């Protein structure tokens, strides 16, 4: 098991595959809300959200997002009961209620990935602008942080309870690929794990998505190395949780269900030459 009941205790087994959701269009977002798993797919020339029961994994319904251009990531806020979806091309966020009613608001940058912090605000990682933008649930911009110059192509950011941020960064063209802990004001790298692009335990090849448990342990989807790694709260390598043998192809996104001790991984077929995902499924692991 990955998570433990007692704080700062980590049980020592890797994730076990217990189920997979159907392979169809590539999966670009995963989130949980009110006992349901939301899966964002690009399927049959459009984006849509599939909703599954988070216990039985039975399909419940499908939601569409009006006027969507290119949906990129998804997260949810249990406090307000909203699902947020990033639209990369339209440079906006679509806020959905569980029934499917959508409200958009502008980001004024290309949103790459999303998370919700302890204040129930939405954090939007803007990869090319190297920024984290914080919005309230009504779409009001609360603050905008420009990340340090050494943080190139930030893919995903999660704010810890102490106010600091965990950020994974580094694209295919960057020699440096890391997971970094950033100060609360966004100006300083406090700790980091990684370095030169590589495949051993201390390196990454596009660390693309994150999940953090209640004790501060960090899961990292290491895209081209086809694995999910676990780091300690001080960003020390702990173990590999998901390996290439658990996946058909590449881990694009993740979602951690701490209560049920489940990890959901978007496993997409991907063409390096064309740089497009062509199909995908969700792998469900017991952690």
CATH number for the domain that contains residue 40 = 2.120.10.30
Q: Please tell me the pTM assigned to this model.
A: 0.93
The Cα–Cα gap between 15 and 57 comes to 18
Q: Could you list the residue range(s) of the whole structural domain that residue 249 is in?
A: 16-286
Instruction: Pull the structure tokens for residue 141.
Output: 């911009």
SS3 27: strand
pLDDT (tens, 9 = 90+) of the chain, 287 residues, equals: 444 433 444 444 578 999 999 999 999 999 999 999 999 998 656 668 999 999 999 999 999 888 888 999 999 999 999 999 999 999 999 999 877 788 999 999 999 999 999 999 999 999 999 999 999 999 999 999 999 999 999 999 999 999 999 999 999 999 999 999 999 999 999 999 999 999 999 999 999 999 999 999 999 999 999 999 999 999 999 999 999 999 999 999 999 999 899 999 999 998 766 677 889 999 999 99
- With respect to residue 11, please indicate whether it lies within any of the assigned structural domains: no
Residue 209 lies in a domain: yes
Look at residue 95 and tell me if it is in a domain. yes
Of the candidates 273, 271, 221, 272, the one whose C-alpha atom is nearest the C-alpha of residue 247 is 221
Asked whether residue 4 is assigned to any structural domain, the reply reads no
Q: Are 240 and 227 in contact (CB under 8 A)?
A: yes
Query: What is the C-alpha to C-alpha distance for residues 235 and 226, in angstroms, rounded to an integer?
Result: 20
What is the total count of domains within the chain? Answer: 1
Number of alpha carbons in the 13 Å side-chain half-sphere of residue 46: 10
Residues making up the chain, counted from first to last: 287
């Amino acid at each position: 098991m990955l998570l433990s009941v007692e704080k700062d205790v980590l049980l020592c087994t890797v994730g076990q595959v217990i189920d997979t959701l159907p392979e169809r269009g590539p999966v670009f977002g995963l989130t949980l809300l009110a006992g349901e798993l939301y899966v964002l797919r690009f399927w049959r020339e459009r984006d849509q959200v599939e909703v599954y029961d988070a216990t039985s994994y039975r399909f419940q319904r499908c939601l569409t997002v009006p006027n969507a251009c290119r949906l990129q990531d998804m997260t949810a806020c249990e406090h307000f009961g909203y699902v947020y979806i990033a639209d990369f091309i339209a440079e906006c966020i679509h806020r959905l209620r569980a029934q499917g009613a959508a409200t958009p608001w502008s980001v004024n940058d290309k949103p790459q990935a999303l998370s919700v912090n302890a204040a129930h605000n939405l954090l939007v990682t803007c990869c090319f602008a190297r920024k984290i933008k914080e919005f309230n649930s009504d779409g009001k911009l609360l603050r905008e942080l420009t990340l340090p110059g050494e943080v190139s192509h930030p893919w995903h950011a999660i704010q810890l309870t102490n106010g600091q941020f965990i950020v994974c960064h580094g694209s295919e063209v960057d020699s440096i690929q890391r997971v970094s802990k950033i100060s609360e004001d966004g100006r300083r790298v406090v700790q980091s794990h990684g370095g030169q692009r590589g495949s051993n335990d201390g390196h990454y090849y596009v660390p693309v998505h994150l999940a953090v448990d209640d004790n501060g342990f960090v899961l990292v989807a290491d895209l081209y190395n086809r694995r999910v790694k676990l780091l300690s709260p001080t960003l020390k390598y702990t173990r590999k949780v998901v390996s290439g043998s658990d996946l058909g192809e590449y881990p694009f996104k993740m979602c951690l269900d701490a209560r049920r001790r489940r990890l959901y991984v978007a496993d997409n077929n991907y063409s390096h030459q064309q740089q497009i995902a062509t199909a995908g499924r969700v792998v469900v692991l017991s952690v």
